[in-house]
Structure 1
């Protein structure tokens, strides 16, 4: 490019460019000192805005972005923990159901054993009651039979004494009682 400047200077190209720039500046009303001062003012304002406004705003935005990222990470952790908790709850419920079913089965088995014992006790008690009733019936029967024998003997003696018209002796009464007893027992 340095070799183009001497060529441009020889042909008057640079002079034409300067002249053309001055004409354009005059047409649009451009003042070089005003333009230069505006450029410096704009640069100062841009620098101050960059230092005092843009950087703090960018920092705040960066902090927000980090907090949002942390929040999303925490949400993912919470989802994982929730899934683990639900799995643990399901395991506990399954175990509790198994234990409850086992306890119910054991209770049923125990109830059946108790019912069987009670039934056996009731049968044994019924058999004892029946045996006692038979024994009592046998004793009562023997008493009734003894009373019947005495009554039959007395009736036979009374009847015999009336029919024969004589008073029977102790030996006769004993013999007639024994014969009557044998016939009643048969």
Structure 2
């Protein structure tokens, strides 16, 4: 055997004994630490990370739904403008045709055409206004529901009716033109 190695090993053993170091206790603590770390990783950290990932996904889905609703609102607004433009065009066409007519009969027909055009225009405006209001109402309800649902999921608590009402009103105000 090599004598300097023996003395160095003996010196290490004596130093460990003087500080109360026991290899068996140290190894048992290392094994316990590894077991606890593995158990925490499997049963604590993974479920928490999974819940956080799920919440992130729900929030992303909620934002995507909000974008879809905004797109639907823009499409409804475009349809509203198209209906209004078509109604205005038809009304103007009827008015111009009525003015082109001559004589007393033409004057009477002109008045009938103007009245009809105004009725069509009023109906078109009313229909487009009703469609716009209905779409806005649906949008506000859906956006309010999404805001309430997302807020409840993110905060992890059950919202009171006052909280739900307040969130819906806030969302409706932000969407209102």
Query: If the TM-score is normalised by the length of the shorter chain, which range does it land in?
Result: 0.3 to 0.5
Q: Which has the larger radius of gyration?
A: 1
Greater RCO between the two (CA within 8 Å, min separation 6)? 2
Q: If the length of structure 2 is used for normalisation, what is the TM-score?
A: 0.46
Q: If the length of structure 1 is used for normalisation, what is the TM-score?
A: 0.44
